[in-house]
Amino acid sequence: MKKLPTWIDILLIPLINLAIALFLSALVVLYIGEDPMDALSIMIKGAIGSSYGWGYTLYYATNFIFTGLAVSVAFHAKMFNIGGEGQAALGGLGVALVCLMFPWPHWILALPVAIIGGAVFGAAWAAIPAYLQAKRGSHIVITTIMFNFMASALLVYLLVNVLKAPGSMAPETGRFIEGARLPTGHDMLGWFGIKFSKSPPVNISFLISLLFCFFIWFLIWRTKLGYEIRAFGHSESAAKYAGISPIKIIMVSMLISGALAGLMGINSVMGESERLVIDSVQGAGFIGIAVALMGRSHPFGVLLAAILFGILYQGGAELALWTNIPRELIVVIQALVILLTGALDNMIRMPIERLYFKMVRAGT
Amino acid sequence: MTLIKTIISASAALIASAAMVVADPALIYDLGGKFDKSFNEAAYEGAEKWKAETGGNYNEIELQNEAQREQALRRFAENGNNPIVMAGFSFASSLSEVAPDFPETKFVIIDMVVDAPNVRSTVFKEEEGSYLVGMMAAMSADKAIGFVGGMDIPLIRRFACGYVLGARSVNPNIEILQNYTGTTYHAWNDPIKGGELTKAQIAQGADVVYHAAGGTGIGVLQAAADAGKLGIGVDKNQNHLQSGSVLTSMIKRVDLAVYNAFTDGADLTTGFEVMGLSNDGVGYAMDSHNASLVSADMQAAVEAAKAKIIAGEIQIHDALTDNSCPAS
Amino acid sequence: MTKDKQERPETAAPAIQLKNISKSFGPVQANKNISLTVNSGTIHGIVGENGAGKSTLMSILYGFYKADSGDIYIRNAKTSIPDSQAAISAGIGMVFQHFKLVENFTVLENVILGAEDGALLKDSLSKARRQLQELSTEYELDVDPDAIIENLSVGLQQRVEILKALYRRANILILDEPTGVLTPAEADHLFRILKNLRDQGKTVILITHKLREIMDATDTVSVMRSGEMTATIKTNQTSPEKLAELMVGRKVLLNVSKSVAKAGDIALEVKDLKVTDEKGVLRVKGITFNVREGEILGIAGVAGNGQSELLEALGGFRKSQGLVSVYGHSLDLESPSGQEIRDQSIAHVPEDRQRLGLIMDFTAWENIGFGYQHEPEYSNSWGLMNNRKMRKDASNKMEKFDVRPSNIKLKVRNFSGGNQQKLVLAREIERNPDILLIGQPTRGVDIGAIEFIHNEIIKMRDEGKAIILVSVELDEILSLTDRVSVMFDGNLVGDRITRETNARELGLLMGGETD
Residue A40 to residues A29, A284, B161, C29, C63: CA-CA distances in angstroms? 10, 24, 50, 48, 47
Inform me whether the C-beta atom of residue A342 falls under 8 Å from chain B C-beta atoms: no
Average pLDDT over residues A285-290: 91
Which residue has better confidence, C504 or B259? Answer: B259
Interchain pair A238, C356: CB under 8 A: yes
Residue C44: in which H helix or E strand, if any? strand C43-48
Q: What is the pLDDT of residues C317-337, one digit of tens each?
A: 999 999 999 999 999 999 999
pLDDT at residue B39 is higher than 90: no
CB-nearest to C357 from A1, A241, A361 is: A241
Position A290 pLDDT exceeds 70: yes
Determine whether the interchain pair A201/B76 forms a contact, defined as Cβ–Cβ distance below 8 Å.
no
Strand, helix or coil at C113?
Answer: coil
pLDDT at site B128: 94
Judging by DSSP bridges, how do beta strands B271-275 and B246-252 pair with one another? unpaired
Same domain for B54 and B144? no
DSSP code string of C319-371: --EEEEEETTEEP--SS--HHHHHHTTEEEE-S-IIIII--TTSBHHHHHTTT
Q: What is the pLDDT of residue A167?
A: 67
- % of residues, chain A, pLDDT over 90: 57
Q: B89 vs A170: CB contact, 8 Å cut-off? A: yes
Residue C426 has pLDDT above 90, yes or no: yes
Nearest to C316 among A230, A231, A243 (CB): A243
A241 to C342: CB separation less than 8 angstroms, yes or no: no
Answer whether A331 sits within 8 Å of B64, measured CB to CB. Answer: yes
Q: Are residues B288 and B266 in the same domain?
A: no
Structure confidence by residue, pLDDT tens digits, B268-303: 899 988 999 998 899 999 999 999 999 999 999 999
pLDDT band at A194 (very low <50, low <70, confident <90, very high): confident
Interface probe for A, chosen from C277, C356, C366 (most Cβ of A below 10 Å), is C356
Q: Band the pLDDT of B18: cuts 50, 70, 90.
A: very low
- Give residues with Cβ within 8 angstroms of B239, minimum separation 6: B233, B246, B248, B249, B285, B287, B289, B290
Q: Describe chain B by its helix, strand, coil percentages, rounded to 5.
A: 45, 20, 35
Average pLDDT on C226-230 reads 87
DSSP H helical segments within chain B, as ranges? 2-13, 39-54, 68-79, 92-98, 126-140, 154-170, 191-203, 217-226, 254-264, 296-311, 319-322
* A87 close to A267: Cβ distance less than 8 angstroms: no
CB contact under 8 Å between C358 and A238, yes or no, is yes
On whether residue B216 sits in a domain, the answer given is yes
Candidates A203, A322, A331, A333: best to mutate against B (most CBs of B within 10 A) is A322
Chains A, C: CB contacts within 8 A come to: 78
Q: How far is CA A160 from CA A172, A268, A276, B211, B217, in A?
A: 8, 20, 12, 20, 22
Tell me the angle at which helices C240-248 and C447-462 cross, rounded to the nearest 10 degrees. Answer: 100
pLDDT of residue B35: 82
CA distance C470 to C84: 38
Check contact B-C (3+ Cβ pairs < 8 Å). Answer: no
Per CB-CB distance under 8 Å, the chain C contacts of A223 are 379, 383-385
Cα angle C257, C261, C267; round to 5: 130
Q: Chain A to chain B, count of Cβ pairs less than 8 Å apart?
A: 118
Residues B165 and B298 in one domain: yes
Quote the number of domains for chain B: 2
Measured between beta carbons, which residues in chain A are less than 8 angstroms from residue B11? Answer: 322
C289, C321 contact by CB (below 8 A)? no
Q: Which of residues 209-238 of B touch A (CB under 8 A)?
A: none
- Domain identity same for B151 and B187: yes
The H-or-E segment that residue B282 falls in is strand B282-284
Number of residues that this document lists for chain C:
515
Query: Are residues B183 and A153, on separate chains, in Cβ contact within 8 Å?
Result: yes
Measured CA to CA, the distance from residue C18 to residue C74 in angstroms comes to 9
Report yes or no on chains B and A touching (3+ CB pairs under 8 A). yes
Same domain, B100 and B130: no
Judged by CB atoms closer than 8 Å, whether chains meet at B16 and A60 is answered as no
Long-range pairs for C110-115: beta carbons < 8 A, 24 or more residues apart: C110/C149, C110/C160, C110/C164, C111/C145, C111/C160, C111/C163, C111/C164, C111/C167, C112/C167, C115/C167, C115/C168
Alpha-carbon span A278 to A273, nearest angstrom = 11
Q: In a 10 Å sphere around its CB, with 0-12 CB exposed, 13-18 middle and 19+ buried, how is residue B135 labelled?
A: buried
Interface of C with A (CB under 8 A): 25-28, 68, 315-317, 337-342, 348, 350, 355-362, 366, 369-371, 373-374, 378-379, 383-385, 387, 414
Show residues of chain A in contact with B67, CB under 8 Å. 56, 59-60, 201, 268, 272-273, 282
Q: How confident is the model over C50-75, as a mean pLDDT?
A: 87
Q: Verify that B171 and B74 share a domain, yes or no.
A: no
The C-alpha of B33 sits at a distance from chain A's nearest C-alpha, in angstroms, of 9
Q: Assess if residue B298 is contained within a domain.
A: yes
The string over B83-102, giving b where at least 16 C-beta atoms fall within 10 Å of a residue's C-beta and e elsewhere, is bbbbbbbbbbbbbeebbeeb
Interface test with chain C among A215, A241, A256, by most C beta carbons within 10 Å = A241
Check CB contact under 8 Å for B70 and A201.
yes
CATH of the domain at B232: 3.40.50.2300
Query: Per-residue pLDDT averaged across B177-184, rounded?
Result: 86
Q: What pLDDT sits at residue C83?
A: 87
B203 and B295 in a single domain? The answer is: yes
- State whether B153 and A170 contact (CB < 8 Å): yes
Of B72, B89, B93, which is closest to A275 when you measure between CB atoms? B93
> Partners for C (CB, 8 Å, 3+ pairs)?
A
CA distance A354 to chain B (A): 41
Task: Please tell me the distance in Å from C194's CA to the nearest CA on chain A.
Answer: 37
For the stretch C242-292, pLDDT in tens is 888 888 777 766 677 778 878 889 999 999 999 998 888 899 999 999 999
Q: Is the pLDDT of residue C1 over 60?
A: no
By C-alpha distance, which of B154, B24, B44, B25 is closest to B89? B154
Cα separation, A181 vs C395, in Å, equals 53
pLDDT at A364: 56
Mutation pick from A215, A218, A224, A225 vs chain C, by most beta carbons of C within 10 Å, is: A224
CB A172 within 8 Å of CB A276: yes
B50 touches chain A (CB under 8 A): no
Strand order in the sheet with C43-48: C92-95, C172-176, C203-207, C43-48, C220-225, C228-234
Task: Examine the pLDDT at B11 and tell me if it is beyond 80.
Answer: no
CB contact under 8 A, C373 and A230: no
The span from the CA of A86 to the CA of A94, in Å, is: 12
Q: Are residues B94 and B204 in the same domain?
A: no
Shortest CB distance from C383 goes to which of A224, A235, A245? A224
Is residue B152 situated within a structural domain? yes
C165-208 pLDDT, tens digit per residue, is: 888 888 999 998 888 667 777 888 889 989 999 998 899 999 88
- For β-strands B107-110 and B119-124, DSSP reports them as parallel
What's residue A55's pLDDT? 92
Which domains can be identified in chain C, with CATH numbers? 266-510 (3.40.50.300)
Strand partners, B144: B175, B206
Q: B75 versus B202: which is more confidently predicted? A: B202
In the structure, what pLDDT confidence band is assigned to residue C142 with cuts at 50, 70 and 90?
Answer: confident
Structural domains of chain A in order of their starting residue, each with its CATH number: 61-307 (1.10.3470)
What share of chain B in percent tops pLDDT 90? 59
pLDDT in tens, A95-143: 999 999 999 999 999 999 999 999 999 999 999 999 999 999 999 999 9
Cβ-based contacts of C431 with chain A (< 8 Å)? none
Residue B8 has pLDDT above 70, yes or no: no
Query: Among B259, B260, B230, B227, which residue's Cα sits nearest to residue B243?
Result: B230
- Quote ipTM for the complex: 0.82
Please report residues of C whose CB lies closer than 8 A to that of A3: 26
Distance CA C456, CA C181 (A): 25
pTM of the predicted protein model: 0.79
Cβ within 8 Å of B, A 44-63: 45-46, 49-53, 56, 59-60
What 3 state SS string does A128-161 have?
A: HHHHHHHHHCCCHHHHHHHHHHHHHHHHHHHHHH
A169, pLDDT greater than 70: no
Q: Which residue of A has its CA nearest to C356?
A: A238
**Are B314 and B214 contained in the same domain?**
yes
Cα first-last separation, chain B: 53
CA distance A309 to C253: 63
Bridge partners of C282?
Answer: C276
Q: What is the CA angle C23-C27-C30, rounded to 5?
A: 35
What's the 3-state SS for A323-336? CCCCHHHHHHHHHH
Give B268 to chain A, closest Cα distance, Å.
Answer: 23
As a whole number of angstroms, the distance between CA B239 and CA A91 comes to 45
- Contact criterion met (CB < 8 Å) for A273 and B33: no
Note whether residue B328 is domain-resident.
no
- The mean-pLDDT minimum among A233-242, B318-327, C87-96, C406-415 falls in B318-327
Label residue C2 by pLDDT band (50, 70, 90): very low
Residue count (chain A): 364
Contact C295, C263 (CB under 8 A): yes
Secondary structure element (H or E) that encloses residue C424, with its range: helix C417-429
Identify whether B327 is part of a domain: no
Please list every residue in chain C whose beta carbon sits closer than 8 Å to the beta carbon of residue A237.
317, 355-356
Give one word for C230, left, alpha or beta, with left for phi > 0 and alpha for psi -120 to 50: alpha
Q: Would you tell me which residues 276-315 of chain A have a C-beta closer than 8 angstroms to some C-beta of chain B?
A: 277-280, 282-283, 313
Secondary structure string (H, E, C) spanning A267-315: HHHHHHHCCCCCCCCCCHHHHHHHHHHHCCCCHHHHHHHHHHHHHHHHH
Same domain membership, residue B267 and residue B229: no
Q: Could you tell me the residue range of the domain that residue B302 belongs to?
A: 126-251+280-322
Q: Do B234 and B97 have their domain in common? A: no
Domain match, B133 and B215 both: yes
Q: Which chains pack against B, by 3+ Cβ pairs within 8 A?
A: A
With CB atoms and an 8 Å threshold, state whether B90 touches A170. Answer: yes
CB C338 to CB A243 under 8 A?
yes
- From chain C, pick out residues whose CB is under 8 angstroms from the CB of A2: 25-26
Distance from CA of B32 to the nearest CA of A (A): 11
For the beta carbon of residue B274, count every other beta carbon within 10 angstroms. 13
Local structure of residue B109 (DSSP, 8 states) = E
Strands B84-87 and B107-110: parallel
